[in-house]
Structure 1
């Protein structure tokens, strides 16, 4: 109880005057373990308020926001909708939310037309070392943990007394400024800190399906085994599949394309 009260008082001090915080990270990752030279980059936001945090791709969120504006303009003009898939930017389609002070963790992700809210029940157990490192303007201390099939190194700073970090990670006595797994195929580095008026509420919609990790794993496996199921259902409803250049496309071509993408996305942040 004493720890909880102390944490609450610290959080109230940080968020005095209703100033929410945005921590912007550079996320570098290798999606295909057979092609380690193909390093991807994504701009990720960790938006923190007194009640919790939301971690999501700024690249995806900004792209989707621009697409939404385009759709509204086209509808207002009464013209035909022109939704080009190549206008979408960003590779990290999921988001992670945490609820304070218990740090309940949830992964939000879309599979086909459905949005899922997946509860995370695995604890994160840290080993804090004596090693220090200056990362940017922050003096940090190193910690280690094993999570979801990877060994992780984290550098946290007590100068920012928020027990949060990128993705699902939390529980250190300060914000995680840098994180990377042992293979160095996933790395998060803090690049900027700013005050924000509010956390975006429409990163994911309200119509989410709540599932546990086991249920979500089965849903994901079913999708990977039959990724064209959504196209098949749409075609049964009379929809016509087209490619980016406007040419018609059949289900087999769509399925082959998606399976090839899944095959190359074999180095996910969670291995088990």
Structure 2
């Protein structure tokens, strides 16, 4: 009888927690280039949770893109031209992740060139819960381990927040993931705060997404890395003049070389294997 009461109480508390829209804010520290481990980037990430599911995205990118979109639309309407400053893009994490409850159907959302893709994640995360416990900030947490997408991950979750979710694609533990890091410490997510929100932003994901599987997405990424300026070429062939403010000569070859150099330095991605 006591066990039944406890289970009912846990379910009741879980319902209360998810009944309100919650924002879990994480600090994300990552090393983009494995050859330069002293270059550690930091970005603020939001995990917005509602009764239907969650959205994980860069708060920095979301805010900057919202303002940039308005400005670029004004430029195009007024002059027929788009003036792009090379350093105008704020934030490094351009992808987002969604999870649909109660089955935790996971999708990656990312724009490559001119198209927005929705990539269904079908690889299970097989957790091994460890007896080790500690306290992180005000939360009592327990350790779990898993191998996923070419990395070994350590997670610290708390049953004090009975939401089986966490940063990026990670989920499925008996409580919210408070801290997550791979064994090289190249990617570390740490929960910084929690607050109620009126609603989860609907404009995080495009309404015109192309649904692809993991293998298709892997090929799209490889094709993009071979020709990163293809999007600019398509826009120009359509009659839109693209003017790079920091490149007055508008040299497409030089732009391609710069982008390829940037891609080469981004070799320490969160997924070392995008298929298995």
Global fold match (TM > 0.5)? yes
Contact persistence 1:21–1:194 (CA under 8 A): yes
* Matched residue, 1:28: 29
* Matched residue, 1:15: 18
* Matched residue, 1:91: 92
What is the alpha-carbon distance in structure 2 between the residues aligned to residue 47 and residue 101 of structure 1? 15
- 1:159 correspondence with 2:160: yes
* Matched residue, 1:196: 197
Deviations 1:80-104 (A, max 9, x none): 7655453321000000000001000
* Matched residue, 1:231: 232
* Matched residue, 1:207: 208
Tell me: CA distance 1:219–1:74, structure 2 relative to 1, closer, same or farther (3 Å).
closer
What is the alpha-carbon distance in structure 2 between the residues aligned to residue 125 and residue 33 of structure 1? 26
Contact persistence 2:86–2:244 (CA under 8 A): no
Q: Secondary structure at the match of 1:15?
A: helix
Tell me: CA distance 1:234–1:73, structure 2 relative to 1, closer, same or farther (3 Å).
closer
What is the alpha-carbon distance in structure 2 between the residues aligned to residue 40 and residue 169 of structure 1? 21
- Number of matched pairs: 266
Please provide the CA RMSD for this pair.
2.3
Quote the offset at 1:147 in angstroms: 0.1
Q: Secondary structure at the match of 1:152?
A: strand
Tell me: CA distance 1:228–1:71, structure 2 relative to 1, closer, same or farther (3 Å).
closer
- 1:58 correspondence with 2:59: yes
Deviations 1:232-254 (A, max 9, x none): 22333344443333613222111
Quote the offset at 1:71 in angstroms: 4.8
Tell me: CA distance 1:68–1:233, structure 2 relative to 1, closer, same or farther (3 Å).
closer
Quote the offset at 1:230 in angstroms: 1.8
Contact persistence 2:85–2:244 (CA under 8 A): no
Q: What does residue range 60-209 of structure 1 map to in structure 2 within 5 Å? A: 60-71=61-72, 83-209=84-210
Tell me: CA distance 1:248–1:9, structure 2 relative to 1, closer, same or farther (3 Å).
farther
What is the alpha-carbon distance in structure 2 between the residues aligned to residue 57 and residue 66 of structure 1? 15
What is the alpha-carbon distance in structure 1 between the residues aligned to residue 11 and residue 138 of structure 2? 26
Contact persistence 1:27–1:188 (CA under 8 A): yes
Contact persistence 1:60–1:93 (CA under 8 A): yes
Q: Secondary structure at the match of 1:222?
A: helix
What is the alpha-carbon distance in structure 2 between the residues aligned to residue 219 and residue 132 of structure 1? 42
Quote the offset at 1:79 in angstroms: 7.0
Contact persistence 2:84–2:245 (CA under 8 A): no
Stretches of structure 1 lacking an aligned partner (at least 5 in a row) = none
Structure 1 range deviating more: 177-186 or 128-137: 128-137
- 1:260 correspondence with 2:261: yes
What is the alpha-carbon distance in structure 2 between the residues aligned to residue 223 and residue 203 of structure 1? 22
Structure 1 range deviating more: 78-87 or 141-150: 78-87
Stretches of structure 2 lacking an aligned partner (at least 5 in a row) = 1-7
